[in-house]
Amino acid sequence: MSARLWLIRHALVEESSRQFLYGTMDVALCPHGLVAHRHVYDALARHLPRPAVWMCTPLSRTRRTAEAIFAAGYPPQDLLVEPDLIEQHLGEWQGLPHADLPAKLARPAHAFWPLAGDERPPGGESMEEVIARVGPAIERIAAETDGGDAVIVSHGGAIRAAVAHALGIGADASLHLSVGNLSLTRLDREPEGWRVVCVNDEVSL
């Protein structure tokens, strides 16, 4: 089995949503960012493989990001919806202002994420659980894409989880990975196992 997975984190969300923990809430993209980052969409449209299977998550910010890449010159594609690559569900903490979170944590936050890798928000999931969800999903997608390419517009947490699965690292280690908006992460599934080709690649530079 061999496949190439091209994972793109969705575009920047609108400013008011960045003031709180939104997790799997369906927040809108920043309209100013869609204009200011047009050169990034142009670069992605040129760089991404053709042909490829395209996927997004159930959240509109991933679909709109894919549509912006199509508008920049990549031939429009049918978008398959992949629920298992959605963002970390933050349960009852979704919608909570960032400043209010520390008082609710059972253990110190991670240095690069609002909560530790094994902390589960009430009614939500821990980063460990995200890895357990995403890992089988990318194995399945790779098998279904055997010999080809899949472009997946997803979320920072899910992309970190995919890299964690590929490398066999834990949740806290995965949270040290930087995955910026509109960045590209490529994972190749070879017969010998996963190969991480790039993480957080800014293809417009």
Global pTM reads 0.97
Domains of the chain, first to last: 3-201 (3.40.50.1240)
Q: Which two tokens stand for residue 190?
A: 């070879």
pLDDT at position 147 is: 95
Q: What is the mean pLDDT of residues 93-106?
A: 96
Residue 170 has pLDDT above 60, yes or no: yes
- C-alpha angle with apex 23: 21 to 29, nearest 5 degrees? 90
Task: Band the pLDDT of 1: cuts 50, 70, 90.
Answer: confident
| pLDDT single digits (tens) 120-134 | 999 999 999 999 999
| pLDDT single digits (tens) 128-163 | 999 999 999 999 999 999 999 999 999 999 999 999
Q: Which two tokens stand for residue 157?
A: 């947490």
pLDDT at position 204 is: 66
CA distances from 157 to 100, 104, 133, 164, 204 (A): 21, 20, 11, 10, 22
